[in-house]
Structure 1
Amino acid sequence: MAAPLLINCQHGLGDNIYSRPFVRAASARGPVYLATPWPELFEDLPVQFVEPGTRLRTQAKNVALQQRGRWVRPPAQARSVRVSYGAVQFRNGINIARSIESALPLRGAPFVFDLPPTGDAPITARKPVAFVRPATVRREWFNSARNPKPEYIAAIAAELMTTHHVVVVADLEDGVEWAEGQLPPHHQAFLRGELPVRSLLALLAAAEVVVGGVGWIVPASLALRRSAFIVLGGHGGHNAPALITDPRMDLSKIYFAHPTEYCRCTDMKHNCTKEIPDLLLKWDTFRHKRFRPF
């Protein structure tokens, strides 16, 4: 049997969803100890969890929710690896999945992109659910450049208000994370991180459509095979669709609405051009041609 492996995940929710296929593959080859703030994403896999050191707000909140018995100490002989991606890989056209994969000796391993069973949705609704993620910025990782224009998300949410139960989800805190512009119209909202991660993913899994900008909803929608309309902003040097997806994923249900002049910058505070004058035409393409009408 292979020597124990300590895998140190990046701390973002989306980062951990991207890491799951490779954690699964590694655990099939030998004992895996996984340092992650999101053990819920891996609890169906034969891994043991190591408490991560993090001061990031959302991640620290989830760590604090765990029972102490969740965490173990890795054996001294465990080989430690850190999975990551960033500017160097993106400059070379290497997507997130391939970047994470390269940190682990997994050549030839099957690529299974999924999530554990989510359980029942935390809401009931008479109409199909639309999961809407508003454009937000946070002090810890201030990236206004990648956000789409907030009114674009609001416009799609408004289109859905007559046919769907629109739910807006965020984790806002004054001075720490806040919405850009006005929140999209909605029937129901969870705006203060009320949903623990299992419930959050169960709500997304129950949604007929997911709408928002680039972020964790992209890998979550792909893993849960939800129809997703992703409105791009800028910062395309790190967030272009080819970098945040992988051909091995099922991309048949996702649509990226590109600005007319998609900015390929790598500056998180750049004033990118984000105009999409034909947004509603793109939305109609998504609704009527790529998928069944809602």
Structure 2
Amino acid sequence: MRPSLLIRGQWGLGDNIFARPIVRACVAKYDVWLETPWPELFEDLPIRFVAANRDLRTQMRNVARQSPARWSTPPNGIREIRLGYGHAELARGSIVAALERQVAAIGVPLSAPSWDLPDMGAPLVLADRPIALVRPVTVRSEWRNEARNPRPEYVAAIARELTATHHVVVVADLQDGREWLEGVLPPHNQAFLRGELVVRELLALVGAADVVVGGVGWIVPAAIALGRRAFVIHGGHGGHNARQIITDPRMNLSRIGFATPRELCKCTDKLHQCDKSIPDLAAQWAAFCSRVGLNSLTPAPSAA
């Protein structure tokens, strides 16, 4: 009989996608109970799910959507680890490296990790042109990080160009006083702005997208896991969000592009007034389109 293990996972959607190969590696050695608000991301693995309660709006809404039969109670005295990272861990390397060290401490090696997702079904959006999914720039009261955000006009500039060749879908989960737009809403053909898409529908849309555009966040691991093109526009807060921190050398990044400020601020202050200027945004966008074979009519304006 294999030993049992309770993994207290992270609560961010992107962090759970990052953690999939970590959890999969643990399953090879342990009978795993996983505390997560996103069981949909792991339901292809032989694990049991544990419910928890935190004051996080989007996550608790997804917990409430689950059938009570989804959740299990781990046995008393079960071995337990907590996945996570903070400033000290990121000062040593990437997010994935931090998680990898935590499971290595209980004798679980991470050999040949792969980032993927279960089948999320068909997308709800049907269009006669390729789909471009755009994440607008928002601020959340639960985890304020204006420093990480890119300049909203940069996202809008890319979205504006894509409306000529794509069906542009803007996705957010806005709520007065809890999450709000920074800047203006990007140009689009269709929008889901109030969390209308449940996680399956959201990730099915990513899986169907010809390209995903936005700032650093869950779109990065989601696009990597689903093999989609993504153009990620950096803002600041590079001490926690630089490319080498939010990705891993073992990931397939051949379809991912990063628009980087002339000097990415290396701060770790979520409210720092970072210089986010990208004067050559048009050139970086054009180079990305050429590299990944994206049908783009003209370079986007710099919006400097």
TM-score by length of structure 2 reads 0.94
**Amino acid in structure 1 at the alignment position of 2:99:** I
Q: Is the 8 A contact 1:7 1:35 kept in 2?
A: yes
Identity %: 57
| Contact 1:128 1:164 (C-alpha < 8 Å) held by counterparts | yes
Deviation by residue 1:6-39 (Cα, 9 ceiling, x = unmatched): 0000111011111110111111212000000000
Within 5 Å, give how 1:129-278 maps onto structure 2: 129-278=131-280
Task: Give the 3-state SS of the residue equivalent to 1:103 in structure 2.
Answer: helix
**Structure 2: runs of 5 or more not aligned:** 297-304
Shift of 1:281: 1.2
CA contact (8 A) 1:146 1:233 kept: yes
* Correspondence for 1:30: 30
Contact 1:2 1:31 in 2 (8 A): yes
Note the residue ranges of structure 1 that are not aligned, 5 or more in a row.
none
Deviation at 1:53, TM superposition (A): 2.1
Matches within 5 A, 1:53-202: 53-92=53-92, 94-104=93-103, 105-107=107-109, 109-202=111-204
TM-superposed CA distance for 1:292, in Å, is: 4.4
C-alpha offsets along residues 58-83 of structure 1, whole Å, 9 cap, x if unaligned? 10100010011100100113101001
In the alignment, the residues of structure 2 paired with residue 216 and residue 264 of structure 1 have an alpha-carbon distance, to the nearest angstrom, of 21
Deviates more, 1:181-190 or 1:107-116: 107-116
Q: Give the 3-state SS of the residue equivalent to 2:75 in structure 1.
A: coil
CA pair 112-278 structure 1, distance change in 2 beyond 3 A:
same
Shift in CA distance, 16/212, structure 1 to aligned 2, threshold 3 Å = same
Question: After the TM superposition, which segments of 4 or more aligned residues of structure 1 sit over 6 Å from their partners?
Answer: none
Q: 2:84 aligns to what SS in structure 1?
A: coil
- Looking at structure 2, the residues matched to 112 and 127 of structure 1 have their Cα atoms a distance apart, in angstroms, of 31
CA contact (8 A) 1:253 1:291 kept: no
- RMSD over aligned CA atoms reads 1.0
TM-score by length of 1: 0.98
Aligned twin of 2:301: none
Partner of 2:21: 21
SS of match in other structure, 1:100: helix
- Asked whether the 8 Å contact 1:96–1:243 carries over to 2, the reply is yes
Q: Distance in 1 between matches of 2:294 and 2:151?
A: 27
Identify the residue that residue 47 of structure 1 maps to in structure 2: 47
Three-state SS of the structure 1 residue aligned to 2:34 is: strand
Count of residues paired in the alignment: 293
